Amino acid sequence: MNTQSKTTGVAMQRLAQARALMSREGIDAWLVPSADPHLSEYLPGYWQGRQWLSGFHGSVGTLIITQDFAGLWADSRYWEQASKELAGSGIELVKLQPGQTGPLEWLAGQAKADSVVAVDGAVLAVASSRTLAANLYEKGARLRTDLDPLTELWNDRPALPAQPVYEHAAPHATETRTDKLTRLRTVMAERGADWHFLATLDDIAWLFNLRGADVSYNPVFISFALIGPNSINLFVASEKVDAALRSTLEQEGITLHEYTRIGTALRNVPKDARLLVDPARVTCGLLDYLDSEVTLVEGLNPTTLFKSQKSAADTRHIRQAMEQDGAALCEFFAWLDSALGNEPVSELTIDEKLSAARARRPSYVSQSFATIAGFNGNGAMPHYRATEEEHAQIEGDGLLLIDSGGQYLGGTTDITRMVPIGTPTAEQKRDCTRVLKGVIALSRAHFPRGILSPLLDAIARAPIWAEGVNYGHGTGHGVGYFLNVHEGPQVIAYQAAATPQTAMQPGMITSIEPGTYRPGQWGVRIENLVINQEAGKTEFGEFLKFETLTLCPIDTRCLEISLLTKEEREWLNEYHAQVRQRLSPLVGGAALSWLNGRTQAV
Task: Give the span between the Cα atoms of 229 and 184, in whole angstroms.
Answer: 12
Domain with residues 309-589, CATH architecture: Alpha-Beta Complex (3.90)
In degrees and rounded to multiples of 5, residue 367 shows phi and psi of -65, 155
Residue 528, judged by CB atoms within 10 A of its CB (0-12, 13-18, 19+), counts as buried
- What would the pLDDT profile of 268-309 be if each residue is shown by its tens digit? 999 999 999 999 999 999 999 999 999 999 999 999 999 999
CB 259 within 8 A of CB 180: no
Beta pairing class for 541-548 and 92-95: unpaired
Beta pairing class for 142-144 and 62-66: unpaired
pLDDT band at 6 (very low <50, low <70, confident <90, very high): low
pLDDT for residue 390: 85
- pLDDT of 230 over the 90 cut: yes
- pLDDT of 17 over the 70 cut: yes
pLDDT for residue 315: 98
pLDDT for residue 1: 33
Reduce the DSSP state of residue 277 to 3 states and report it.
Answer: strand
Kindly give, in sequence order, each residue whose CB lies less than 8 Å from that of residue 480, ignoring residues fewer than 6 positions away.
202, 206, 307, 412, 487, 509
In degrees and rounded to multiples of 5, residue 536 shows phi and psi of 105, 170
pLDDT for residue 7: 60
Fold of 166-307: Creatine Amidinohydrolase; Chain A, domain 1 (3.40.350)
pLDDT band at 10 (very low <50, low <70, confident <90, very high): confident
Kindly give, in sequence order, each residue whose CB lies less than 8 Å from that of residue 373, ignoring residues fewer than 6 positions away.
347, 348, 350, 351, 354, 386, 400, 401, 402, 403, 404
Poorest-pLDDT segment among 68-77, 168-177, 593-602: 68-77
The whole-number average pLDDT for the span 358-362 is 97
- What would the pLDDT profile of 530-577 be if each residue is shown by its tens digit? 999 999 999 999 999 999 999 999 999 999 999 999 999 999 999 999
- What would the pLDDT profile of 33-45 be if each residue is shown by its tens digit? 999 999 998 899 9
Task: Give the span between the Cα atoms of 204 and 220, in whole angstroms.
Answer: 8
pLDDT, averaged across the chain: 94
Task: Give the span between the Cα atoms of 393 and 421, in whole angstroms.
Answer: 11
DSSP per position, 203-216: HHHHHHTEE--SBT
Task: Give the span between the Cα atoms of 45 and 48, in whole angstroms.
Answer: 5
pLDDT for residue 103: 92
Domain covering 3-153 in this structure, CATH number: 3.40.350.10
For residue 72, how many C-alpha atoms fall within 13 Å in the half-sphere facing its CB? 33
In degrees and rounded to multiples of 5, residue 315 shows phi and psi of -65, -35
- What would the pLDDT profile of 465-498 be if each residue is shown by its tens digit? 999 999 989 999 999 999 999 999 999 999 899 9
- pLDDT of 525 over the 90 cut: yes
pLDDT band at 4 (very low <50, low <70, confident <90, very high): very low
pLDDT for residue 119: 95
Task: Give the span between the Cα atoms of 534 and 567, in whole angstroms.
Answer: 22
pLDDT band at 182 (very low <50, low <70, confident <90, very high): very high
* Domain chopping of the chain, boundaries: 3-153, 166-307, 309-589
pLDDT band at 101 (very low <50, low <70, confident <90, very high): confident
Angle at 278 between CA 252 and CA 505, to 5 degrees: 85
Residue 319, judged by CB atoms within 10 A of its CB (0-12, 13-18, 19+), counts as middle
Peptide bond into 161 cis (omega under 30): no
Residue 594, judged by CB atoms within 10 A of its CB (0-12, 13-18, 19+), counts as buried
Beta pairing class for 372-375 and 398-404: antiparallel
Question: For every residue of 239-274, which 3-state class applies, written as one string?
Answer: HHCCHHHHHHHHHCCEEEECHHHHHHHHHCCCCCCE
Return the number of other C-beta atoms located less than 10 Å from residue 295's C-beta: 14
- What would the pLDDT profile of 108-134 be if each residue is shown by its tens digit? 899 899 999 999 999 999 999 999 999
Range 506-518 burial, b when 16+ CB lie within 10 A, else e: bbbbbbbbbbbbb
Question: Do the domains 309-589 and 3-153 match in fold?
Answer: no
Inter-residue long-range contacts of 579-586, CB under 8 Å, 24+ positions, other chains counted: 579/326, 579/551, 579/552, 579/553, 582/323, 582/326, 582/551, 583/323, 583/326, 583/327, 583/330, 583/551, 586/323, 586/324, 586/326, 586/327
Phi-psi region at 253: left, alpha or beta (left = phi > 0; alpha = psi -120 to 50):
left
pLDDT for residue 11: 85
Beta bridge partners of 64: 31, 71
pLDDT band at 81 (very low <50, low <70, confident <90, very high): confident
- What would the pLDDT profile of 302-320 be if each residue is shown by its tens digit? 999 999 999 999 999 999 9
